[in-house]
Amino acid sequence: MEYVEQQPYTTFKRFCKTLELTDDPELIAAYKQVHAAGAAWPEITQGMREVGILDMEIYLAGTTLFMIMDTLPDFDHDKAMSKLANKPRQSEWETYVSKFQKTSATSSAKDKWQLVERIYKMRE
């Protein structure tokens, strides 16, 4: 698939993360519906903005999710994820989406999503 994007910001930090879904086609289809345009709970999107997340995309390959998260340049990942965990409805959201994921219902987003290491960049 192809994606053409234009960002309103030019300087940002980028984090990439992975997470495994349960290998069940019905659950995966439901997870995709939960993340369709406009389907995520507004409090979740608002909380992400409030901690400094500028944009986020999630891609799916089989049962593996790949997240791209663009943040403010001074974003401190650990502090922001702790702050996000205490935002309204965040723990309820994590419990809700855990039924699709290979994770526990009590895990926070920080516990579930694993940061990945960039090993190549075309432009340095």
pLDDT computed for residue 65 by the predictor = 98
Could you tell me which of 27, 97, 23, 33 has the C-alpha nearest to residue 64? 23
Q: 7 or 113: which carries more pLDDT confidence?
A: 113
Cα–Cα dist 74/71, whole Å: 8
User: How does DSSP assign 42-110, residue by residue?
Assistant: HHHHHHHHHTTEEEEEEEEETTEEEEEEEE-TT--HHHHHHHHHTSTTHHHHHHHHHTTBSS-TT--HH
Average pLDDT over residues 31-56: 96
Could you tell me which of 74, 75, 84 has the C-alpha nearest to residue 113? 84
- pLDDT tens for 59-110 read 999 999 999 999 999 999 999 999 999 999 999 999 999 999 999 888 888 8
pLDDT computed for residue 54 by the predictor = 96
Q: Which CATH number is 13-115 given?
A: 3.30.70.100
Q: Would the pTM count as exceeding 0.85?
A: yes
